[in-house]
Each structure stands twice: as C-alpha cells, then as structure tokens.
Amino acid sequence: MTDSNITSGGLTAPRHLAIIMDGNGRWAQARGKQRVSGHKEGANAVRRVISECVRLGVKELTLFAFSSENWKRPALEVNALMALFVEAIRKESKNLLKNGIKTRIVGDKSKFPSILQSQIAKVEELTKDCEVMTLNIAANYGGRWDVLNASRNLLKDCLANGTNPDDLTEDDISQRLNVISNVDLMIRTGGEQRISNFLLWQSAYAELYFSKTLWPDYGADDLIEAIEFFNGRERRFGMTSAQVQAKGELNAD
Ligand code: IPE
Ligand code: IPE
Ligand code: MG
C-alpha cells in the first residue's frame, strides 16, 4: 500500500487525510451570532470536503468533530452539537451509502446519548461494505485515549494468551487503535498550530498543514492548496534526501 497513489487533475491525493476542523465559534462570533450557528455552517463544509475528497481520490478521511476535552464546553453548546450529530447522520446516511463511503465514528461512543449511539450503529451497519472511501468521524476522541484503549485491549489479550511482553511489537498497538492507518497529511483550519490530542500515534510521519481559513468557510480551493503543499514535500521517514531520491528512481524503473 503506498501512502499517496491516486492522481486527479495533476494532484496526488494523500491516501489518508486527517482534518482538525477548527474555527466554527470564531466564524459565528465574527458575525455576531451564537457559536452554535458556526457549528451548523460547519456541517455544510463537512459535506463539501467529503465530496471533494472522493473526487480527488482520497481513500481515508478522518475528521475531528468533537474531542474528549470538548465536554468541558458549556452544556448548551455540547447539547447542540450532539443534536447536530444526530441530525447530520440521519440526513446523510443514504448519500453516504450512494457514494460508497464507509462511515465509522471513532471515539468513546459509550458517553453519547442513546439516540446518537443508535444512529451511529445504523450508519456504520448501512455503509460497512462501501469501498470508495473510508470516512472516520472522530467524536469523543482523544489520541491518548486511543492509545490507552489499545493498550488495555492488548493487555487483556496478553493475559488471555500468555504472551511474553518482550515479544510485543508496535503493530500490536497499531492494530488495536480506533484508526489503524498512518496519516499522510494532517490539516488544521482556523489558524491555530497545535494537534489538540488528535491522532497522536497515527500522525508520527504526517505532513502538517495549517490553514487560516475558519472551518465553515473551508472549501475545495483550500483543500487543493493543502494537497499542493503536500505534493511539494519530500517525505524522508528518517532517511537522507539522497536515499529517498535513489529509492524513487528505483521504484520508477
Ligand atoms: C471546532 O470549532 C469545532 C469543535 C471543537 C466542536 P470551535 O468550536 O473550536 O471554534 P473556535 O476555535 O472556538 O473558533
Ligand atoms: C480541536 O479543537 C477539536 C476539534 C476540532 C473537534 P478545539 O478548538 O477543541 O482545540 P483547542 O482547545 O483550541 O486546542
Ligand atoms: Mg477551537
């Protein structure tokens, strides 16, 4: 599996794109509106970006919708976000299926209202055989939680199977994460330059792109700009530039 192998319009799409969708609150506040209206407009940006990713040939898209730390926000905002998630899944399920998008909600789902949990189960079941693109919606997700959860499961398996801890590999953790594949490009919108506990393990070698655009304004042009940046990077994975180039020539033969 290569990390970026599908071209469209001269661009090479990252295989796995991850986006920290930030700036909804500021978008609303700049218009004298409630923060919630920024989240509502953000849902339209989600729709735009998903269809553009399909068009560009992205194989896996992981969107940060709600972090494990976002419960600290005012109850009014948290409740509105939960209601928006329920509505978005209900409204979009058929379209996701029609477009071949395997949809998964990644995060600790046990904390969600039961109506949301059942909507999630429905869309995951409905789209489970889709193959055009995998969409991971990270909700009540934290990178540290993901590693902790994987470690817990690994420990249980080790105890059950009598595995020697010295025999464990990085793969034993990777395979138990909620999101398994490595991120090729991580975008954060809204101007902040931090990871905020997103895919910590999976982004070990991700290229990072920070956009000033607030999420509700984010669209195809912004995405293309980020992918152009990605295409201009030399991904060395610890090697020297000369080694990477020699390897590229070898692969091209
Ligand atoms: C991101 O936008 C959406 C969520 C975290 C749910 P914010 O709500 O963080 O927007 P800002 O950063 O306050 O502008
Ligand atoms: C990160 O954004 C989480 C999501 C985009 C869902 P935040 O707005 O919560 O991040 P911080 O608190 O500014 O780091
Ligand atoms: Mg924010």
Predicted local distance difference test score (pLDDT) of residue 211 = 98
- Mean pLDDT over the full length of the chain: 96
Q: Whose C-alpha lies nearest to ligand 1, atom 12?
A: 23
211-232 pLDDT per residue, tens: 999 999 999 999 999 999 999 9
**Ligand 2 atom nearest to CA at 64:** 6
Average pLDDT over residues 70-74: 98
For residue 128, how many C-alpha atoms fall within 13 Å in the half-sphere facing its CB?
A: 6
Residue 1 has pLDDT above 90, yes or no: no
CB of 4 shorter than 6 A to ligand 1: no
Which of 21, 24, 67 for mutating ligand 2's site (highest number of atoms within 8 Å of CB)?
67
- Total residue count of the chain as it appears in this document: 253
CB of 142 shorter than 6 A to ligand 2: no
Four-point Cα dihedral 164, 167, 172, 174, nearest 10: 130
Predicted local distance difference test score (pLDDT) of residue 19 = 99
Residue 6 has pLDDT above 80, yes or no: no
Q: Whose C-alpha lies nearest to ligand 1, atom 5?
A: 66
CB of 21 shorter than 6 A to ligand 1: yes
88-123 pLDDT per residue, tens: 999 999 999 999 999 999 999 999 999 999 999 999
What are phi and psi for residue 249, nearest 5 degrees? -65, -40
User: Which run of H or E residues covers position 221?
Assistant: helix 220-231
Average pLDDT over residues 73-90: 98
Residue 2 has pLDDT above 70, yes or no: no
Q: Whose C-alpha lies nearest to ligand 2, atom 9?
A: 70
Predicted local distance difference test score (pLDDT) of residue 253 = 73
11-40 pLDDT per residue, tens: 999 999 999 999 999 999 999 999 999 999
